[in-house]
Amino acid sequence: MGRLFGTDGVRGLANESLSPELALRVSAAAAQVLSRGKKRALAVVGRDSRASGEMLEAAVTAGLTSAGVDVLSVGILPTPAVAYLTGVYDACLGVMISASHNPMPDNGIKIFTAGGHKLDDAVENRIEALVTEAAFVRPTGAAIGRVLGQSGLGGHVFDAHDQYSLEGTHERYVEHLVEATGRDLSGLTVVVDCANGAASQVGPAAYREAGATVIPIHAAPDGLNINDRCGSTHLDQIQRAVVEHGADLGLALDGDADRCLAVDATGAVVDGDAIMAVLALAMRDAGELVENTLVATVMSNLGLHIALRAAGITVLTTAVGDRYVLEELRRSNYSLGGEQSGHMIFPRFGTTGDGILTGLKLMARMSETGRTLADLASVVQTVPQVLVNVHVSDKTAVAAALTVQDAVAEAERVLGETGRVLLRPSGTEQLVRVMVEATDLDQAQRLADDLAKLVAAV
């Protein structure tokens, strides 16, 4: 078996590479690693709206309870909600069954540690070793885990406020989001594309509770239509809907609602870089942007760096993937991070990207300033970018080649602060991506082509 965990959990074609048997083994192993020997441990389990989620949730629940862990099933909820509730209920782990923005036939298992944090590499390796060895401790009798309902079975006793009804968990998450918004959004009209996914109920509910007028689209999941020509990867329909309804903005979530992209009143797309800039400036003005620093990935456009540099804000970059953004946020206690793809992380309010909260924060900035989203987003002027994919025989050798290193250094010297160069090996193929950004498109193309020739010759 190859590497089990990818950049965001275990993912694959449901009932094929991601089988119920594998889901059971992964969850049983995670329970043993993360329950920390507690006599009565608790896991929070949620899923998105995929039909296969029903099957996989049953397998995950079997795996967890077989390891002696009680399970609170919260039903269809966004990934950030499961992470949040894992912390709220002091659970030893949380499990989200979702393949995020992937097509419906795929599914995935995302695991959170206590407090709702994503796994680090060391913990993933321990879980993977247990899955491979199938060396599970199997309790019997009263030590077997229970599936919790309002009665608080399995040794967990809760008062009336903490009863585990689905309505209670959904409402608690919505209340958390609205409290984090900090502003009445009355007067704003928003179209919300729920991607027929996990946010189809709680997304519109949160925006309405905050005061906005909400027009939901693709909010009728049937198990098969998640991400189907809708959501954050298919923006054409929400662009039309915003214009047709005369809305102030549109918000497009993905299947598990951990990311959000926006559309302004004219139907123009506002990508993750522009969203990060708007939110960073809002937090700076409120004195909430720790050390006036934003954490982004290397894929963010140079235009974001230029805009925030002019505003006195530092942009720190990490490798691609929200897990690396999260690691830097936690390591240095920064207060905002994100990705161009729409993941926005506010450590004060959550441990993972939260698309619904991102939309609330965007609208709060519009309400606070009285400015349109187009006006706010115009602070970022996207710099032309050229990307060349080069097939190579050994991508590791390319990174070590002195001729390539020298050429990159020379290109960076030529560009100065008006451009940048990025060589990024593919994670899955013998491929090196050569990316050059420059205010002069012809210059960017010329430098990218020259670098691509050198890379191909290694």
Residue numbering of the annotated binding site for Mg(2+): 100, 254, 256, 258
Q: Which of 49, 52, 98, 100 is catalytic?
A: 100
Contact 380, 387 (CB under 8 A): no
69-76 and 93-97 strand pairing = unpaired
Eight-class DSSP state of 418: G
Question: In angstroms, rounded to a whole number, what is the distance separating the alpha carbons of residues 202 and 46?
Answer: 14
Q: Which residue is it, tokens 């998105």?
A: 48
Pick the closest to residue 290 from 225, 334, 241, 243 (CA basis).
334
Q: Where are the alpha helices (DSSP H) in 159-301?
A: 166-181, 202-209, 236-245, 272-285
Question: In angstroms, rounded to a whole number, what is the distance separating the alpha carbons of residues 271 and 138?
Answer: 48
Question: In angstroms, rounded to a whole number, what is the distance separating the alpha carbons of residues 177 and 185?
Answer: 13
Question: In angstroms, rounded to a whole number, what is the distance separating the alpha carbons of residues 246 and 371?
Answer: 16
* Catalytic annotation present for 100: yes
> HEC states along 195-209?
CCCCCCCHHHHHHHH
Contact 115, 86 (CB under 8 A): yes
Query: Residues comprising the binding site?
Result: 100, 254, 256, 258
Rounded to 5°, the CA angle 95-96-97 comes to 115
The three-class DSSP label of residue 440 is coil
Sorted by sequence, the CB contacts under 8 Å of residue 141 that are 6+ apart come out as none
In 10 A of CB 246, how many CB atoms?
Answer: 8
Sorted by sequence, the CB contacts under 8 Å of residue 337 that are 6+ apart come out as 294, 295, 296, 325, 326, 328, 329, 344, 345, 347
Pick the closest to residue 204 from 262, 251, 249, 256 (CA basis).
251
Sorted by sequence, the CB contacts under 8 Å of residue 108 that are 6+ apart come out as 8, 9, 10, 11, 12, 18, 97, 98, 99, 100, 102
Contact 448, 436 (CB under 8 A): yes
Pick the closest to residue 154 from 226, 75, 61 (CA basis).
61
Q: Mind telling me the catalytic residues?
A: 100
